[in-house]
A and B are shown apart, each in its own frame.
Chain A
Amino acid sequence: GAVVSQHPSWVICKSGTSVKIECRSLDFQATTMFWYRQFPKQSLMLMATSNEGSKATYEQGVEKDKFLINHASLTLSTLTVTSAHPEDSSFYICSASPVPYEQYFGPGTRLTVT
């Protein structure tokens, strides 16, 4: 149980385009989902907390207009990287929380912007 999927698993896009990443909890409902980013040899950095039916809460330094988050249902959250640039290339990981303090991670999406 407690499986989280992400799609796509990897994507290569050109600078200036937008990329949407989906995060789904497959066998449980998640009121809260989290989006993280991880650069090589760095720790996971929380980007935003996504609550179903309300606006996401962004961490300091994360541009909400660039990283659009939608949590339209209890099993789906999406992250859209708008006008992507090479510096946005990273490993994006979501997690879903069925109960407080318990998080299950998706397999991650590797984004490369050329």
Chain B
Amino acid sequence: RKEVEQDPGPFNVPEGATVAFNCTYSNSASQSFFWYRQDCRKEPKLLMSVYSSGNEDGRFTAQLNRASQYISLLIRDSKLSDSATYLCVVNFRDSGYALNFGKGTSLLVTP
């Protein structure tokens, strides 16, 4: 069964904190990995792709461990505007170009 699993949270953190989200996927034949951000009642927006070597974009760092089928997202120096739901997204090779979404992890950054 194709699955993308995430801790739903919610994660409540103060401004300036560092927070990490984890995600596991069940299909070893997966080839593309992403983190999306979804605000309440809005469409998902691509936050960053995740590469095997790990990648960083400002305060956001993504890591991929293919052997463990595990993806992570680290947010440093949290801002109030980071409050959203973060979706772990995986493309399974046998799904063509379709994306498989986790249920999302909810983050609330408080003053």
- On A, residues with C-beta under 8 Å from B are 32, 34, 36, 41-46, 49, 91, 93, 95, 97, 100-101, 103, 105-108, 110
Contacts and interface: CB of A to CB of B under 8 A. Distances in A.
8 contacts: A34-B99, A43-B104, A44-B87, A46-B99, A49-B96, A91-B41, A95-B99, A103-B97
B101 A43 contact: yes
A49 B95 CA distance: 10
Question: Considering residues A44, A93, A100, A110, which has the most beta carbons from chain B within 10 angstroms of its beta carbon?
Answer: A44
B98 A44 contact: no
Interface in B84-111: 87, 91, 96-104
Contacts of A42: 103
A36 B38 CA distance: 14
Contact of B43 (A34, A41, A43, A93): A93
Given A43-B103, A105-B43, A108-B43, A34 B98 contact: yes
A40 to B, nearest CB: 10
Q: Is the interface of B mostly helix, strand, loop or mixed?
A: loop
A107 B38 CA distance: 11
User: B4, B99, B103 — which one has the most chain A CB atoms within 10 A of its CB?
Assistant: B99
B97 A100 contact: yes
B32 interface: yes
B97 A32 contact: yes
Task: Give the residue among B44, B91, B96 with the most A Cβ atoms within 10 A.
Answer: B44
A60 B45 CA distance: 26
Contacts of A36: 101
Contacts of B98: 34, 46, 49
A43 B91 contact: no
Contacts of A107: 42-43
Contacts of B99: 34, 46, 95, 103
